[in-house]
Structure 1
Amino acid sequence: MELSPEAHAAMQAHRRRYEELKAAGTGVAPRAMPVPTPKDGAPLPADAVISRETLPGGWYTGFRLRRGEAIRLVNTEGSSAVSLLAWNAADTSERINHADTVKIQWTAALRKGRVIFSDMGRVLLSIIEDTSAAHDALTGGSTAASTLAKYGAGNFRNTRDNLVLAAAKLGLDRRDIPPCVTFFAPVIVGAGGSFTWNAAARSAGDFVDLRAELDLLVAVSACPHPLDPAPDYAPGPVEIVRFRAPTPAADDLCRTATAEAVRGFENTDRYLAG
């Protein structure tokens, strides 16, 4: 449908305002994002590790993660994608918001130094280490319908159902399931808005470390990403290492990398102080 002159003018005005806000937000970022973490560049001290779990490909799990703890997600064989949801354990009406995570930071590129926001403008998780910078905050996970259409009939699990089951075991239900973010999903957004898959950006042994900034309930699923071009349903295992993260320093990258993150942590700190 062709836009009226008035509608077109309004759209252009909104676009100009968006660009002004984006320029203001990105122009004051005090720190540049670092290069990805080398695979041998962030060893975990043995006395910091709380638990280790191997999640079979296609399956799910859920757990509590205390503030100051972290999880390392390891793409053991290089063929996994890990979809994640998180909720404030003290008030589960507050949960991960993938749209605000993208909008507030003016980027869909999740990588070391970025944070994951809640729908209350607070920081739930910080990405403190990351070997690939190849993650997806836009597409979402698979469903029963998308899995059937891609792989045909069979006993194939999907992201949506897995996250519903994980949430149920945490005392939540379908109404508590927002869109997820997916790690080890190298989705590239083209200039025209199309999505493509960059398989070369994912390899065995990749890991991402997520530090909890509130006490959280966390659900993860290891089903294939909807855009993964592999023809067969063969997701590999994921190792989940829960550990005590180092106490953030005053110049902690995630807390200071952008003005938006600074405000998000101010909101989080006020909440915790109250």
Structure 2
Amino acid sequence: MQSNPSVDFDLPPIPHVLWETVLPAGTHWSGVLRRGLALRVVDLEGGANLAALFYRQEDPLERYNMADTLKAQHTARFTRGVVLYSDMGRVIASITADTLGWHDPVGGVGDAGLFATKYGSARYQEHRNEMIRNGRDSLLVELAKYGLGARDLVANVNFFSKLDAAEDGSLTFAPDHSRAGDAFDLRFEMNTLAAFSSAPHPFDPSPKYQPKPVKLIAYRAYSVDDRVPADDPCRSSCAENERGFVNTERLFV
């Protein structure tokens, strides 16, 4: 069987860890990630899902655009070499390393109604940290910290998850896709507001609410004044990406 060329079986060493944190199962996180910073994101137990949204920090009206990202790169899966585009044709972030070969950009995020139907109800008042948190409300909690709300929700990325497409276009969740220790590196090409939720994928067929934790490790990939080189795998993967990087760099001239 031929191996997937987009999969890194051994991730490159991190030169210097700036900070790290664990996002517990079923919780949420947000923060500003500066240009040139990178995150290594690790599935600690296997079976994780990380719903993610991205906005330009200085002007959140510019945000990740799923449709443009897929069209520009002729792909419906995210892995090493894929970049995430904003709705202004600029590159928000690049996937520079990946042990999985497939992350889901189309499955969306579960809301309170879906989670109540699948998992029932478990409120904080009775269950404390075992409460059930849905992905949509989790992301909204984080966005509210920056003056953003429901109208700012766009199509999200689901890292560590995979959907299989049938001939009729129907989508099926791929179980056991991500295993303990699987990871990817996400390099930020502009100052980015990121919001994450570790709630289960909305297509996950499990009747039990079993979210999993992920680890975030931040490191410096390049200086803010540097230019991503022409032979960078993300920049050189297609002509559209070269133009996207040029558009992005003009923000920092």
Q: TM-score, normalised by structure 2?
A: 0.89
SS in 1 for 2:235: helix
Aligned to 1:264: 244
Q: How far apart, in 1, do the equivalents of 2:33 and 2:163 lie?
A: 27
Answer yes or no: is 1:168 the counterpart of 2:138. no
What code does the residue aligned with 1:258 have?
C
- The one of 134, 140, 153 aligned to 1:158: 134
Gaps of 5+ in 2: 123-130
Answer yes or no: is 1:44 the counterpart of 2:14. yes
Paired residue total: 238
Q: How far apart, in 1, do the equivalents of 2:230 and 2:155 lie?
A: 32
Aligned to 1:20: none
Answer yes or no: is 1:212 the counterpart of 2:188. yes
Q: How far apart, in 1, do the equivalents of 2:210 and 2:177 lie?
A: 18
Q: How far apart, in 2, do the equivalents of 1:194 and 1:54 lie?
A: 34
Answer yes or no: is 1:114 the counterpart of 2:82. yes
Q: How far apart, in 1, do the equivalents of 2:203 and 2:6 lie?
A: 25
**Could you list the per-position Cα deviations for residues 121-142 of structure 1 after superposition, in whole angstroms to 9, with x for gaps in the alignment?**
1110100011102211111011
**Could you list the per-position Cα deviations for residues 222-260 of structure 1 after superposition, in whole angstroms to 9, with x for gaps in the alignment?**
000011122210111110111111464330000110111
1:62 and 1:170 in contact (8 A); partners too: no
- The one of 204, 211, 215 aligned to 1:228: 204
Deviation at 1:200, TM superposition (A): 3.9
Aligned to 1:93: 61
Q: TM-score, normalised by structure 1?
A: 0.83
Q: How far apart, in 1, do the equivalents of 2:231 and 2:41 lie?
A: 25
Gaps of 5+ in 1: 1-32
SS in 2 for 1:104: helix
Which residues of 2 match residues 43-82 of structure 1 at below 5 A? 43-45=13-15, 48-82=16-50
Deviation at 1:267, TM superposition (A): 1.6
Answer yes or no: is 1:125 the counterpart of 2:107. no
CA RMSD of aligned residues (A): 1.5
Answer yes or no: is 1:253 the counterpart of 2:200. no
Q: How far apart, in 1, do the equivalents of 2:211 and 2:176 lie?
A: 17
Distance change in 2, residues 1:189/1:50 (3 Å):
same
Structure 1's consecutive aligned runs of 4 or more residues displaced over 4 angstroms after TM superposition are none
Deviation at 1:209, TM superposition (A): 0.8
SS in 2 for 1:261: helix
1:36 and 1:112 in contact (8 A); partners too: yes
User: Which of the two has higher C-alpha Rg?
Assistant: 1
Report percent identity of matched pairs: 42
Q: How far apart, in 2, do the equivalents of 1:53 and 1:62 lie?
A: 12
Aligned to 1:180: 156
What code does the residue aligned with 2:195 have?
A
Q: How far apart, in 1, do the equivalents of 2:234 and 2:241 lie?
A: 7
100-109 or 168-177, larger mean C-alpha shift:
168-177
